[in-house]
Structure 1
Amino acid sequence: MPALHPDVQALLAMLRAADAQPLESLPPEAARRSYLAGRRALQPPPDEVAQIRDLAAPSPAGPVPLRLYRGEGTAPEERLPCLVYLHGGGWVLGNVESHDWVCRRLANLTRASVISVDYRLAPEHPFPAAVEDAAAALAFVVERAEGLGVDPARLAVGGDSAGGNLAAVLALMGRDGALPRTGMQVLLYPAVDLAMTSEGYERIVAGQPLTAGTMRYFVDHYVPEIRDRTDWRASPARAASLAGTAPALVLTCGHDPLCEEARAYAHRLERDGVPVTALHLSDQTHGILTMSRLVRTSATILSFVAEALLERWSLEGGRGAR
């Protein structure tokens, strides 16, 4: 087993001392309350940003709530690069509030726009509801770009965990013409194969914020029909080809049941001719970006993500909001 970072050791000791119930032992509503309370306790006070707007994207299933952030120091009339962000939480937990700190920090670091998507959650809304909402949000951002102060030529999709899964799916849909094409996909410890057969599911069975049991709980709620788990919209690693998708940043953590499948996805993107930046943190665990009060590496990772976005946006034209 890889070594653990001292901050992660302290985090795990705190979780053991709290004797918190595993998320998979709770019904979804109770798990949501526990998750949101944990995010509030483990994140620093939120950054000030230039603007926050709550919006809604139309969709056949009803409006999809969005939250738009504009980074500090940006002018109201600027057309900013934009990251459409899908939050983590296993498609069952999380919302724009749980990832508010992450989105504020990224907006400020890039001096750009971040639009967070409050997609429908399982089990009330199983697959493909989250995919449909994420797609509706991206289409809305491009269609209404001028009114949102967004430059559609400098657009990225990204997310952590379940959100990374959705971002990878949107990148595939953009390649295939079902959605506007984006210039980058940011996949932060993503779930990409819901067959759940990678080595991590044998390796990480206890003692971490996310274990194999937690992932099975999430997947059972999100994709209850076993046959749907091989659909590439649920498991982007099952797509016939990844060629032609947007350049990718893939983050993996060594103490994460999703580690091996996400690293394999990065390697496959590379083999299929997609430019890839793969960042592997062997001493870190899943979910650290929303645990930044205790895990100092989180801020460093977000700075790295921001610099990667700025580089990509500069290649696409303009000054990358700087």
Structure 2
Amino acid sequence: MSRLFLLSKALFFRGLQTLGRWCDHYLSPPRPQSVSFRRRIPSTVGGVPGSFDLLFYTPKSYKRSFNLSSKPSPKHPILLNFHGGGFTIGHAADDARWATQVVRSTSAVVVSVNYRLAPVYPYPTAVEDGVSALLYLWKHAEELNLDIFRTAVSGFSSGGNLCFSVTYRLYEELRRLKNEDKLGDVEIGKIMSAVAFYPTVDWTRSRAERRASNPNHKGINLPGFNSMVDQGYLHPPPDMHSPYLSPALAPDHMVKDELPDKLVVMTCWADALLAEGERFRARLKEMGKRVDGYVIEGAIHGWDKFPTFWRGNKERDKAYKSAAESLREFWGEANDGNQSPR
């Protein structure tokens, strides 16, 4: 399949996805919070030059440093979010409802990454853009009034993959910069937690093997979508065992030393990715990590992104609230009702 044909298919599916997001955000009340501001930043990691957008969702208490009076304002935790879409479709605004829940439940600033997409930008560009975003936020933390030592990552599906692969790749990049004496004025923060919703974590298994691993598997069949994802992102064919592609297969020392000690993993009962997600949950626990979250009963892959119109989505709201409450605890914020409703 030619790259041009893959791109045309991706553009078609992106159009469908954009329509779905519009229906979810604008025709399915209550509406999520709008983007507070955005920044376009350069890619500084890897060998593919370019730039991409960061979308900021902020609580009512947020002020940037150049707007501060003489009285300092408390610094805000960071949640760096990665949208789903098989690395080929999707947009940083897709997860506005999740961002809204987090800024309502905590004092955090949610930064959603509009990383560059396949097939124009295949693996590992999305991973490297994620690292570029983290390093940018840490470098500009004083201006943005962010607490780099309370950094967390989150993501959905392929974005859930990026929660882990970006963290691994960050450590590799920091080692390189240190060895080459190029860290400059970048202060090194800490990824203290991660929230992954129905993540893809093992690319060594075929689509058929994944489906067969869950007898309850159900899903929406979009002809040509999976082949577009596989051929678009995995070009040229990479090492499927790489921790930057299959983070659940990383060596023990990487899982133990580089992933945060407090995580949330939400998986779906009818998802082809259920088995690999639950295996990874078990491995993380065996490593001594705390893993909150649960299997969402009856849910298919991407269940939380479908327009609900007048019906609402109680299961989505419950899962988002549960994950946000875990983040609040991980960040050391008391549940004292001081977060301002919007």
Kindly provide the CA deviation profile for residues 129-185 of structure 1, in whole angstroms up to 9, marking residues without a partner as x: 000101000111111111112111211011010111011112334566557430001
The answer (yes or no) to whether the contact 1:210–1:256 under 8 Å persists in 2 is no
Q: Return the alpha-carbon distance in structure 2 between the equivalents of residues 155 and 144 of structure 1.
A: 14
State the Cα RMSD in Å. Answer: 3.0
Contact 2:101 2:324 in 1 (8 A): no
Does residue 28 (structure 1) correspond to residue 38 (structure 2)? The answer is no
Shift of 1:35: 1.1
**Aligned to 1:311, what secondary structure does the other structure show?**
helix
The amino acid across from 1:27 in the alignment is: K
Question: For residues 230 and 288 of structure 2, what CA distance do their matches in structure 1 show?
Answer: 30
Q: 1:39 and 2:25 equivalent?
A: no
- The one of 200, 221, 236 equivalent to 2:210 is 200
Report how many aligned residue pairs link the two structures.
296
Partner secondary structure for residue 205 of structure 2: coil
Task: Give the CA deviation at 1:41.
Answer: 1.7
Q: State the percentage of identical aligned residues.
A: 26
* TM-score after normalising by structure 2: 0.77
Please, which runs of 5 or more residues in structure 2 have no aligned partner?
A: 1-5, 65-72, 176-187
| Partner SS state of residue 99, structure 1 | helix
Q: 1:38 offset after TM fit, Å?
A: 1.4
Distance across 1 between alignment mates of 2:199 and 2:337: 26
State the distance in 1 between where 2:112 and 2:94 align. 11
Query: What is aligned with 1:237?
Result: 248
Distance 1:243 1:28, change over 3 A: same
Between 245-254 and 175-184, the greater mean CA deviation after superposition? 175-184
SS in 2 for 1:229: coil
Change (3 A) 1:172 1:155: same
* C-alpha distance in 2 between matches for 1:304 and 1:52: 24
Q: Secondary structure at the match of 2:239?
A: helix
Per the alignment, do residues 270 and 138 of structure 1 end up closer, same or farther by CA in structure 2, a change over 3 Å counting?
Answer: same
Corresponding residue to 1:255 among 263, 270, 291:
270
Tell me by how many angstroms 1:209 deviates. 3.1
Which protein has the larger Cα radius of gyration, Structure 1 or Structure 2? 2
In the alignment, is the contact (CA less than 8 A) between 1:314 and 1:320 conserved in 2? Answer: no
Q: 1:30 to 1:214 in 2, by over 3 A?
A: closer
The aligned residue for residue 181 of structure 2 is none
1:201 alignment partner, SS class: helix
- Tell me the distance in 2 between the aligned counterparts of 1:117 and 1:278: 23
Q: CA shift at 1:281, angstroms?
A: 1.4
Deviation at 1:275, TM superposition (A): 1.9
Distance 1:159 1:321 in 2: 26
Q: State how 1:34-73 maps to structure 2 within 5 Å.
A: 34-43=16-25, 44-45=28-29, 46-48=31-33, 52-60=36-44, 61-73=49-61
The CA distance in 2 between the partners of 1:53 and 1:130, in whole Å, is 22
Kindly tell me: are residues 243 and 175 of structure 1, through their superposed partners in 2, closer, same or farther at Cα, counting changes over 3 Å? farther
Provide the residue aligned with 1:19 in structure 2.
none
Partner of 1:150: 146
| Contact 1:111 1:321 (8 Å CA) reproduced | no
Aligned to 1:125: 121
TM-score normalised according to structure 1 size: 0.82
CA gap 1:147/1:239 in 2 versus in 1, 3 angstroms = same
Structure 1 residue ranges without an equivalent (≥5): 1-23
Matching residue's letter, 1:52: S
SS at 1:39 equivalent: helix
Shift of 1:212: 11
Distance in 2 (alpha carbons) for counterparts of 1:289 and 1:37? 15
Distance 1:290 1:204, change over 3 A: farther
Q: Which moved more, 1:297-306 or 1:66-75?
A: 66-75
Quote the residue 1:304 is aligned against: 322
Deviates more, 1:77-86 or 1:301-310: 77-86
Equivalent in the alignment of 2:184: none
Paired residue type of 2:277: A
Q: Is the 8 A contact 1:64 1:137 kept in 2?
A: no
Moved more, 59-68 or 183-192: 59-68
1:282 maps to 2:297: yes
* Alpha-carbon spacing, 1:87–1:320, altered in 2? closer, same or farther (3 Å): farther
Could you tell me how far apart the structure 1 residues matched to 2:332 and 2:221 are?
36
- Does the 8 Å contact 2:88/2:232 carry over to 1? yes
Give the drift of 1:217: 3.6
User: Residues of 2 paired with 1:74 and 1:151: CA distance?
Assistant: 12
Counterpart position of 1:89: 85
Deviation at 1:101, TM superposition (A): 3.1
What residue in structure 2 maps to residue 187 of structure 1?
A: 196
Kindly tell me: are residues 269 and 213 of structure 1, through their superposed partners in 2, closer, same or farther at Cα, counting changes over 3 Å? farther
